[in-house]
Structures are given as structure tokens and as C-alpha cells.
Amino acid sequence: MRRDPLIIGAGPAGTAAAITLARAGCCPIMIERASGPTDKVCGDFLSIDAIRRAQALGVDPASLGAAPIRYVRLIHRERVAQAALPFPAMGLSRRGFDAALLRHAQSVGAILRGGQTVRQLAREVAPPAAAPSANAALARVPLATSRLATTFPATAPVAGAPEAFAVLRAGRLDPAAATCQANAPPAAAPGQWTARTADQTAFSADTVFLATGKHDLRDLPRPRTDRGAVGMKMYFALAPDAARMLGDAIELTLFPGGYAGMQPVENGQAVLCIAIQRQALLRHGGTWATLLVRIQQHSRRFSALLAGARALLARPLAIAGVPYGYRSDALAAPGLFRLGDQAAVIPSLTGDGMAIALHSGASAAEAWLAGADSTAYHRALARTLRRQMRLAGLLHHACMTGSVQAAITQAAALFPALLHQAANRTRLASPQAPSGQPTGA
């Protein structure tokens, strides 16, 4: 009997996998460290490939109030290059998008363990026979409805899960609450993964979908170097004149050592995401406040956009050591499927991270359902992403390099088709729109 995969992370990649598995009759469990909707660094731009993948999963960004984005602007000092995007796009906060995907995943049968941080993840090739626990407060409760073995405090509820999946009585799952049947798929390969959370809850599964985004697990880190970029983000309520200036465009402002992207999102708000080299951040004062001042000194247009703006978060979101250009090794550990940013980190300036997250999550689930192993999945994903990742890496390096930023912007101003082509060639192949769904145009 093959047990359902354990999904660590309930962002776009994790929920895409969960929805795909649940639609196939599985009852996947998602472990998510956040206990409720949260803001996350980057990911507010949805291109047509992301929009259609979300619609195929059952979530329509337009219905969530996503702001239409029709133009792209590249800015360096006082020079502005503009082109129409070659596809419909939208701006939607990660808080809103992630929450909608998670609600839908639960509605189709996925189980959420919210507020649980995985501290350890290890694979035992030949797991020892189970021994009785010395802690009487713990009970070994097999979740037959999810085909996933779990150990947890006997009195603890399953956080965030529908009652039909998580009614516990005296440390046992109430059979009357079980609505998912354990139809045994083909036998799994030997070996077992064990994930242990901060409260010592242990989950065992033959297969793990690792979807923790830009946050690594201690046991399975992605390669990091001092060259990794720093990502920062803030939401703003723009002044009326600035909001009209931004309009339905995404603006990428180049400055020494980095770039700053501003775009509209839902509810008339705007989001500013900055990618900057670590050493450049230190040269610019090392803080969010000093960095904004330096960028405003570099570009009067950027300064005008922030004139009278009101920050909507108490402090900016930030993450260091972002390994732009990373792709996971095709020779993955047996039973470990990396999704989203754990599989590949495309530079933020492309705006295709959400499409890759949704694609990788659904593809991993489809591969597992078809009986493919993790190596086959990673090889297929690498082939799919190779071309766009290569070009995205070149563009990212150029836009981070002060000595060529002026030339790039001038070329784009003289030949707007360059922006059009760059946007097109850094996309995943877009799936067909689901029947009856708008494309966001």
C-alpha cells in the first residue's frame, strides 16, 4: 500500500500539489509553519501562465480583485523605456492569493496542519521496528484516511483541518469522521521519510513534497553563497498623482547593485519589491530607509512614485541569501520532490516565480500519481525550465551590474520590442485557458 505524500509548505506550490492529489482521490496532509494568512517576499506578479494554472486548479485571480497589468517600464536615472506586455497579467498580494489556494485545497479534501514548523526531515532506509513511547502523553494514531502515519499529543486537534478529517476521541481518530477511503495504490519503494515539528509531532511518509519556498530546512538546505541576493518588500498606499503615474504597469528601476519593481495589486494598493546584492545594500547604508533614499536620489521618477506614499506594513519583509538561478539536482533523494523555490529560483525581475510554483506542484503530484520517481520528475522539470532560467539569469546579472544598466535601458527605449521579447522568453509555456474562464485581458 502506497501512502499519500506528505507536503511540507502550503504556499502556491504546496497547495497546487495538494489540489491535484485530492482531485485524484488522495487525502494529502500539508504542514504549514504559518497559522494564518501572511505576507511573503515577492510573488505578487501573475503572468498569463500563472493565471491559467491558477484557474485550472480552481482559483481565478480576477475574482480576488487582482489589478490588471498591461505595460512594463524599465527605468535608469531619468530614462524610461516602455512596452506593452505580450500577455495579460495581474497584480495580487501573496496574502490574498495563498489564502484562496489554501481554502480551495481544503475544500477538495486536503488536510492542513497550520502553525507547525518542521525542524527535522530525514530518510531512514531501513527504519527500526516501532517501540512503545516512554511519554504517556503521546499516542501513535494511524491516519487511515490519509494513508499517512502520524504521532501527536493525544489531546491535540489537527489545526485548520475540516472536522470530518480530524475528530479525535481519547487519542483515536473517530471512524465516523473519516470521509476519505484508503484505496491502496501500488506498493511504494523501500525507505521512509520522517518529519518532526517543533512540538515533536512526527509524520512518516514514503514520499515528501518539499514546498517551503525561500526558507530552507536545516537538513536539506539549498546551496548558498555570499553572492546571494537580498530580497525586500513593502506595500504602499500611493498618493493619487503617483497612482496615476504608475497606472496599469510594472516599473523596474535599476540602481547600482540592484533593481526595484513596483506594480499595482488589489484594493488600489501598490507593492515594491527590491532585489539587491548584499554588498551593495551595505554600501547604501544597510537599512530599508537608507536604501529607499539612495534609490530616490538615483531616479527622480522613483522619488515621485513614493512622494506622499504611506507604508502599509509595520516593517519591510526581507530575506537574505536568495540563490537566484538555483535549480535542484536531478539526482534527488528517493521519495523527495522539491517544489517551487525549492526546485528552482528564477530571478524576480521575470515575474514568473508563481507560474513555476504552480507548475512544479501540479507536475510533482501528476508524476507521483503516474508512478514516476523523484529523479524523473526533477529531470523533466529541469528540461522545462532550462531555456527561461538561462535567459533570466543573464538578464538578472545585467540588471544588477551598474556599468551596463544605462546601456540596457537605452537599448530598450530605442527598441521596445526587446522588452516584449524578454518578457515572452522568460515564461513557462502557457496552458490553455480553462473552458469559460477569462484570461485577465
Q: What percent of the chain has pLDDT over 70?
A: 81
DSSP 238: -
In the chain, what are the domain boundaries?
6-59+96-222+325-393
Answer CATH for 6-59+96-222+325-393 from 1.10.510.10, 3.90.1300.10, 3.50.50.60, 3.40.50.1820: 3.50.50.60
**pLDDT 10s digits, 374-388:** 999 999 999 999 999
Could you give the CA distance from residue 297 to residue 346 in angstroms, rounded to a whole number?
29
Q: What local confidence, expressed as pLDDT, does residue 2 receive?
A: 74
* C-alpha distances in Å from residue 110, one per residue of 164, 180, 346: 11, 10, 28
The dihedrals phi and psi of 123, each to the nearest 5 degrees, come to -110, 130
**pLDDT 10s digits, 178-229:** 445 433 333 333 578 999 999 989 999 999 999 999 889 988 888 765 467 9
Could you give the CA distance from residue 233 to residue 42 in angstroms, rounded to a whole number?
7
Confidence label for 332 from pLDDT (cuts 50, 70 and 90): confident
Q: Which residue has the higher pLDDT, 230 or 130?
A: 230
The strand pair at 270-277 and 258-264 is best described as antiparallel
What is the pTM for the complete model shown? 0.85
Quick one: which H or E segment has residue 106? Answer: helix 94-107
Task: Pull the grid cell for residue 175.
Answer: 471512524
**pLDDT 10s digits, 237-285:** 999 999 999 999 999 999 999 999 999 999 999 999 999 999 999 999 9
- What integer is the mean pLDDT of 145-155? 40
Sheet strands (E) in 185-334? 192-197, 202-205, 208-210, 229-237, 249-255, 258-264, 270-277, 310-311, 317-322
